[in-house]
Amino acid sequence: MIQCLDSLVDGQIVIAATNRPDRLDKALTRRFRTNVEFEKFDFREELNMIQKFVDAIDVLDMTQQMVDFAKADHTQAETFDFMIDKIAERVVENTMEMK
């Protein structure tokens, strides 16, 4: 990997991502000129993401459970999984109501 980075020519760009920077070799990280760290969403950002998700899906309404979920400590991927579960639950409810 490091040898590949050393052989890049001017104008080539490498984008890398990790959620475990503590496990990367320092010799590797020194070869990247720019490092950008993304922070976890705070409560307002998390709630805003959930609200946008709810607004985009006709079958969902914001619930207190969703607001409470936004207050907890978790990743955006976990939020996405949570919202997918909420959609699935609502679809099942709608199907049962139609019977």
Confidence category of residue 5, pLDDT binned at 50, 70, 90:
confident
pLDDT, one tens digit per residue, over 36-88 is: 888 888 899 989 888 888 888 777 788 888 889 888 888 888 988 998 898 88
Q: Is the pLDDT of residue 35 over 80?
A: yes
Among 10, 40, 14, 11, CA closest to 29: 14
pTM confidence score: 0.50
Residues 6+ apart with CB under 8 A from 77: none
Q: Name the residue ranges covered by the structural domains of the chain.
A: 43-98
Can you tell me the distance from the alpha carbon of 6 to that of 20, in angstroms, rounded to the nearest whole number?
23
**Residue 11 backbone zone (phi > 0: left; psi -120 to 50: alpha; other: beta):** left
Asked if residues 91 and 83 have their Cβ atoms less than 8 Å apart, the reply is no
Give yes or no for residue 1 having a pLDDT over 70.
Answer: no
Tokens of 76: 């955006």
Other C-beta atoms lying within 10 Å of the C-beta of residue 66: 20
> At 91, phi and psi to the nearest 5?
-65, -45
